[in-house]
Amino acid sequence: MTEALIVIDVQNDFCPGGALAVPDGDQVVAPINAMMARFDTVILTQDWHPAGHSSFASTHPGRGPFDTQEMPYGQQVLWPDHCVQDSDGAAFHPDLRTDGDLIIRKGFRPEVDSYSAFFENDQTTPTGLEGYLRTRGITDLTLVGLATDFCVAFSALDARRLGFSVRVVPEACRAIDLEGSLEAQIENMRQCGVEFA
């Protein structure tokens, strides 16, 4: 009862045909569904941006998707508009099992993005996930979903910083890989004690 599966952002906009499609993003659905039965606790996260979110390139005149912008909390990649609240793109992939214990929505504050399942990108504003896990007595986390080098990695690194045991399952993840970001984040995760299986 001390283990949880955390399914990160398996949403239409991150799958083929979506606004911010991760290559082969839909290929994670079957392995994730198969894994769910092995965990007593399953938590899903959902990117949930208001229209005009500050991380959207469209809100910064003259800037394009994948440019970077300095924000009060640090450097931010600017993204195509994606996972806008209540849109089809924000919905979970239709084949994904969503009968988990909890859904954590993140990125809903207009002024700050949120990659991690635990904190906004300011690294201080919590999502509430840590408290939920602590009160359930959960200590060991398995992370899967999209994208390996952004939301999965940020979640894994924060979980380790908070003292959780963390495992990432590459078969059930896919990456965006911006200019070597996948290799860099895998190394960051290994350095922080994240296991891969």
CA distance 83 to 98: 17
* Average pLDDT of the chain to the nearest whole number: 97
pTM of the model: 0.96
Q: Taking 90 as the threshold, does the pLDDT of residue 31 lie above it?
A: yes
Instruction: Please confirm, yes or no, whether 81 is among the known catalytic residues.
Output: no
pLDDT at residue 1, rounded to an integer: 84
Q: Please answer whether residues 93 and 24 qualify as being in contact, where contact means their C-beta atoms are separated by less than 8 angstroms.
A: no
Instruction: Please confirm, yes or no, whether 15 is among the known catalytic residues.
Output: no
Considering 47, 83, 106, 113, which one is annotated as catalytic? 106
Q: Which amino acid is at 143?
A: L
Report percent pLDDT > 90 for the chain. 98
Instruction: Please confirm, yes or no, whether 9 is among the known catalytic residues.
Output: yes
Q: Which residues of 9-25 are buried (b: 16+ CB within 10 A; e: fewer)?
A: bbbbbbbeebbbbbeeb
CB under 8 Å to 78, separation ≥6 — which residues?
Answer: 55, 56, 57, 60, 63, 64, 65, 66, 67, 68, 69
